[in-house]
Structure 1
Amino acid sequence: MDYRNFRLSKINTDEFRHVKLLLFWPLFGIMFSFVERFYHVGSYYVMHCAFDDAIPFCEWFLIPYLFWFVYLIGTLVYTFFFDVPAFKRMMRFIICTYTITMVIYLLFPTCQNLRPEVFPRDNALTRFIGWFYTFDTNTNVCPSIHVLGSVAAMFGLLDCRKLQKPWVKFAVCVMALLICASTVFMKQHSILDVLAAVPLCLLGHYLCYQRADEPSTAAVH
């Protein structure tokens, strides 16, 4: 996609209308900040199940957990410039699932108390995680936005016409799985938060890929 001819006056044309989808991100930032910082909650539903206790804390999962930002933003940038139909479907998936998630956070406020009080090891990774815990709240966790975002990136990359080689698809899926796993091994989420994201992802895929106006590459091959 060549954006050298882009002007704001052309934003409603067929060629550049998709650029308006980027407006969702500042809107989402406002919504999330309101829910996290300003929305008064009397009490939270604590997300926990017995399976959470069987999952050990592992600081090495910090790497895929943080790679989520590269994975999601990188996919958005790649599709925005090189596969606009895939970008549009991915953004619609994000808008659908993230908006529903914000409504759930308002109606069903959740938290988790899984973070270790004392780390089993002292190293650079655990020290970084300890610092990370100080500003990343343990509220509004179900469903997991980390999971939704990684699945959105996975669907977006699988949808790209130039990325249909088997090894690329395999790497894309493995990365998404590692990111999802990192949320529970980092004690950022209960396994319940991960499972709650699954039906949302299925709904988003149905609405934004299976019923899309433009047939996706993933559906064709």
Structure 2
Amino acid sequence: MKAKLNEIIKHGHLGIIAAFFAIYMVTFSYIENRDVHHYIVHTVLDEKIPFCEYFIIPYLLWFIFVAVTVLYFMFFNQNKWKEYYQLMITLGIGMTLFLVISLVFPNGQDLRPVLSGNSIFIQAVQFIYHTDTPTNVLPSIHVFNSLTCCMAILQNKRKHFKKTTDIAVVILTILIIMSTMLLKQHSVVDVALAILMYTACYRIVYGKEVWKQDAFCSFLFLNR
């Protein structure tokens, strides 16, 4: 791990990641705080999806999921740099496109309910509502990054406990995607656009259509 860290520092990868993250956060902060009209993303289907505070668990697990995936491919993946680059480039493209879309098409949602109760789950949702504004939600970065990490792990042939890991990752990804809608953080439109954007990015980075990959079949449990 120490040798890998020295190699990462030597090639400037940490600097590139840090610079991208800093630029991303500054740009996102500007987008969030500018005074513009936001187009509301709202469909009839959104109104039929119930609110469920228990899905705050997979929603918060997203942060750990993305961090652990990046750290694994950075330090422990045995497939040299190819899969690491594919993961990081896909994440970078998606997050950059999100900023561009938010800049040219300011958007928001009005789906959040009035919360009642004092359970730990409700308190967690209230914290998310307080720290994360209901603006610039299209597409869902939660969904895009989850799919990116999920497919990267599914295609990693050298991981231990392959079948168990694949099933766990697929279930977690599905729960995270569901959580964005069941917590009223995103519209189905946000989710759909994130999925479409990921399939396009996959074609660019991996060179093939996502539905032609064995990993996609794993995602759908077609080869289990």
Interval of TM-score (by shorter of Structure 1 and Structure 2): 0.7 to 0.9
Alignment of 1:105-184 (within 5 A): 105-119=102-116, 121-163=117-159, 165-184=162-181
The equivalent residue for 2:25 is: 29
Task: Tell me the equivalent position of 1:76.
Answer: 70
Aligned counterparts of 1:7 and 1:20: Cα–Cα separation in 2: 9
Report Cα offsets for 1:16-55 as digits up to 9, x if no partner: x654542322221222112112x331x1111111111111
The alignment status of 1:206 with 2:203, answered yes or no, reads yes
Q: Which amino acid aligns with 1:40?
A: D
Match of 1:186 in 2: 183
SS in 2 for 1:129: helix
The one of 48, 57, 64 aligned to 2:58: 64
Aligned letter for 1:125?
Answer: F
Shift of 1:134: 1.6
What SS does structure 1 have at the residue aligned with 2:4?
coil
Aligned to 1:14: none
Aligned to 1:40: 35
Match of 1:98 in 2: 95
- Give the aligned residue type for 1:187: K
The residue type equivalent to 1:30 in the other structure is: V
| In structure 2, C-alpha distance between the alignment counterparts of 1:58 and 1:24, rounded to whole Å | 34
Question: In the alignment, which residue of structure 2 is the partner of 1:3?
Answer: 4
Deviations 1:39-96 (A, max 9, x none): 331x111111111111111011000000000000110001000223222101100111
1:89–1:123 CA distance, 2 compared to 1 (3 A) = same
Paired amino acid for 2:23: L
Structure 1 residues 184 and 68, CA, compared in 2 at 3 Å: closer, same or farther?
same
- Structure 2: which amino acid aligns with 1:128? A
- Is 1:50 the counterpart of 2:44? The answer is yes
**Structure 1 residues 176, 203: closer, same or farther in 2, change over 3 A?**
same
Q: What's the RMSD between the two structures over aligned residues?
A: 2.4
1:135-165 deviations in Å (ceiling 9; x for gaps): 2100000101111111121122123232372
Structure 2 CA distance, aligned partners of 1:7 and 1:182? 34
* Counterparts of 1:197 and 1:7, CA distance in 2: 30
Name whichever of 26-35 and 69-78 sits farther off: 26-35
Task: Provide TM-score, normalisation by structure 1.
Answer: 0.84
In the alignment, is the contact (CA less than 8 A) between 2:5 and 2:75 conserved in 1? no
AA paired with 2:87? M
Q: Relative to 1, partners in 2 of residues 1:140 and 1:4: Cα closer, same or farther, differing over 3 Å? A: closer
Gaps of at least 5 residues in structure 2 are 219-224
- Higher mean alpha-carbon deviation, 24-33 vs 84-93, is at 24-33
Which amino acid letter does the alignment assign opposite residue 45 of structure 1? Y
Q: TM-score, normalised by structure 2?
A: 0.83
The change in CA–CA distance for 1:197 and 1:181 in structure 2 (over 3 A counts) is same
